């Protein structure tokens, strides 16, 4: 995991910070020994091409489960699938013993179609469509209720099925809380609204199973999550004492950090970067925290160990027999995919740098819609990896920004001038690593009539890579 590419650099046009992307051993193998396969896939399926690595996803899932086990708490992991549209990841979930967090009818349908049992599907999102609530009811999905109004609709649906069918369907719900640390969020219920929802749950106990509380925080604070979780435990105890005996789960949401680059490169980059390092003197107010000291399952362990009033969260969860649900998206996809663009052209700008230096403008086949960070007023910082068309080509280090093949001046894949070890050439591949979590497909569109980029799943069989289109159904019989 802690390997990253580190080509020797020749003389550089001027001092540009390098931010090498951490590379999973499987990615290193594919970009090293199996370059030809990547070239063939790109040749056959076109640029842009997304490569999905479900084996890495599986490892991440196992590590999250292990962290729960080591803390001695019972829990269940739900993959927040909005982070990637690929089918290959969801198909793995049943065999891994994890569920799926879905926020649309289509996401829920995909999960069911991939064999995820309804009871292992969590339904989140605000103001859910009645058809989604109806599906959740009939498939026994666990619905995170976002408002009193939504709970009324869901309870009425459950009551209707009871009238129409012998027994009918009982609704399973969590009450989503608006976190104390994020009072301005449009999601979840305030303490007063939650109280009203609790009353409704009591009134509809014959058709609604109230199973607990949920929250989802933005940002990556360990303490904020642990404190909110402690409050949810208190809320569960209160609900139980008032007769909601099934109230025994808290869902701590997603937002588990990911480490994309190592600490020294990240802090050096933040210190050194300045507008002249970017095409058109561009500057950004904010970057995603590409280095995290406690990413993924380590962050989960830290949350569970975090004490409030001297008591660790894990201890209280065990003491009160409360189950922890979590919904990692990005962190389950850490290192589980990358994106290959073929370089279409390279043009040289003479003396056009803001400090007078020359630099290149690389144009790739595809657009920045396939690297979403641009569309959040920021930039994906880990350095892309150049795979020259011909092995062994040499040349001096070369600085270039990377643009998409559209007619939008702002369609830049990297505004930042990347320090390439040699001049990029048409036909070379440019790989952006670790893009499975939100980067590759959240914002894609058929702009300019370009086809949506292909996704291929690559797995290893007896040391050899094997690929299939992500759209082809596949079952994992573990």
Ligand X SMILES: *Cc1c(COP(=O)(O)O)cnc(C)c1O
Interface positions with ligand X (CB under 6 A): 80, 82-83, 101, 124, 216, 253-256, 327-331
CB nearer ligand X, residue 5 or residue 82: 82
CB nearer ligand X, residue 64 or residue 415: 64
CB nearer ligand X, residue 306 or residue 419: 306
For helices 130-139 and 148-164, angle between their N-to-C axes, nearest 10 degrees:
50
- The per-residue DSSP string of 167-223 comes to S---EEEEEEBPPTT-TT-SSSB-HHHHHHHHHHHHHTTTTEEEEEEE---SS--HH
Please, what sign has the CA dihedral across residues 466, 434, 411, 422?
negative
CB nearer ligand X, residue 51 or residue 103: 103
Q: How far is the CB of 3 from ligand X (least distance, A)?
A: 25
Check if the beta carbon of residue 127 is closer than 8 Å to that of residue 151: no
CB nearer ligand X, residue 79 or residue 398: 79
The set of residues, in sequence order, having a beta carbon less than 8 Å from that of 50 and lying 6+ positions away, is 86, 337, 338, 339, 340, 370, 435, 436, 440, 441, 453, 454, 455, 456, 470
Q: How far is the CB of 472 from ligand X (least distance, A)?
A: 26
CA distance 380 to 55: 24
CB nearer ligand X, residue 88 or residue 328: 328
Phi, psi of 52 (to 5 degrees): -105, 140
Is cis: bond before 215, omega within 30 of 0? no
CB nearer ligand X, residue 77 or residue 135: 77
CB nearer ligand X, residue 328 or residue 365: 328
Read off the DSSP letter of residue 278: B
Q: How far is the CB of 251 from ligand X (least distance, A)?
A: 8
Q: Is 466 exposed, middle or buried (0-12, 13-18, 19+ CB in 10 A)?
A: exposed
> What's the longest Cα–Cα distance across the chain?
79
Q: How far is the CB of 177 from ligand X (least distance, A)?
A: 12
Encoding tokens for residue 7? 């080509």
Q: How far is the CB of 66 from ligand X (least distance, A)?
A: 18
Q: How far is the CB of 284 from ligand X (least distance, A)?
A: 20
CB nearer ligand X, residue 215 or residue 269: 215
Encoding tokens for residue 106? 């289509």
Encoding tokens for residue 15? 């001092």
Q: How far is the CB of 144 from ligand X (least distance, A)?
A: 7
CA distance 380 to 150: 37
Q: How far is the CB of 301 from ligand X (least distance, A)?
A: 16
Q: How far is the CB of 354 from ligand X (least distance, A)?
A: 35
């Amino acid at each position: 995991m802690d390997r990253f590419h580190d080509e020797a650099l020749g003389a550089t046009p001027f001092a540009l910070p390098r931010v090498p992307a951490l590379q999973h051993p499987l990615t290193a193998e594919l970009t090293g020994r199996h370059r030809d396969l990547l070239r063939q896939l790109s040749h056959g399926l076109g640029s842009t091409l997304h490569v999905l690595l479900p084996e890495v996803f599986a490892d991440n899932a196992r590590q999250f489960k292990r962290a729960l086990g080591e803390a001695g708490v019972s829990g269940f992991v739900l993959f927040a699938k909005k982070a990637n549209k690929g089918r290959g990841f969801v198909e793995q979930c049943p065999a891994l013993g994890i569920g799926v967090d879905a926020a649309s009818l289509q996401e829920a349908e995909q999960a069911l179609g991939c064999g995820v049992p309804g009871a292992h599907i969590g339904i989140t999102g605000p103001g859910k469509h009645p058809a989604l609530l109806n599906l959740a009811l009939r498939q026994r999905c666990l619905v995170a209720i976002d408002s009193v109004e939504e709970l009324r609709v869901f309870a009425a649906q459950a009551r209707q099925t009871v009238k129409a069918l012998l027994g009918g369907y009982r609704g399973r719900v969590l009450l989503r809380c608006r976190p104390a640390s994020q009072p301005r969020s449009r999601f979840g219920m305030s303490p007063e609204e939650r109280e009203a929802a609790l009353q409704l749950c009591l009134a509809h106990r014959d058709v609604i199973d109230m199973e607990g509380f949920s929250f989802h925080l933005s940002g990556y604070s360990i303490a904020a999550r642990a404190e909110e979780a402690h409050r949810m435990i208190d809320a569960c105890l209160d609900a139980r004492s008032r007769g909601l005996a099934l109230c025994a789960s808290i869902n701590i949401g997603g937002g588990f950090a990911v480490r994309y680059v190592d600490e020294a490169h990240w802090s050096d980059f933040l210190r050194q970067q300045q507008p002249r390092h970017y095409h058109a003197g561009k500057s950004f107010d904010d970057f995603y925290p590409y280095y995290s000291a406690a990413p993924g399952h380590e962050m989960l362990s830290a949350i569970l160990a975090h004490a409030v009033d001297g008591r660790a969260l894990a201890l209280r969860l065990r003491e009160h027999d409360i189950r922890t649900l979590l919904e990692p998206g990005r962190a389950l996809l850490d290192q589980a995919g990358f994106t290959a663009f073929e370089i279409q052209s390279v043009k040289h700008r003479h003396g056009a740098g803001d400090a007078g230096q020359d630099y290149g403008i690389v144009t790739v086949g595809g657009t920045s819609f396939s690297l979403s960070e641009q569309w959040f007023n920021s930039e994906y910082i880990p350095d892309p990896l150049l795979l020259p068309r011909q092995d062994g080509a040499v040349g001096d280090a070369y600085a270039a920004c990377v643009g998409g093949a559209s007619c939008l001046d702002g369609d830049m894949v990297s505004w930042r001038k990347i320090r390439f070890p040699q001049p990029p050439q048409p036909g070379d591949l440019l790989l952006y690593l670790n893009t499975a979590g939100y980067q590759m497909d959240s914002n894609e569109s058929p702009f300019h009539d370009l086809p949506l980029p292909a996704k291929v799943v690559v797995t290893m069989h007896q040391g050899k890579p094997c690929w299939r289109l992500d759209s082809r159904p596949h079952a994992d019989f573990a």
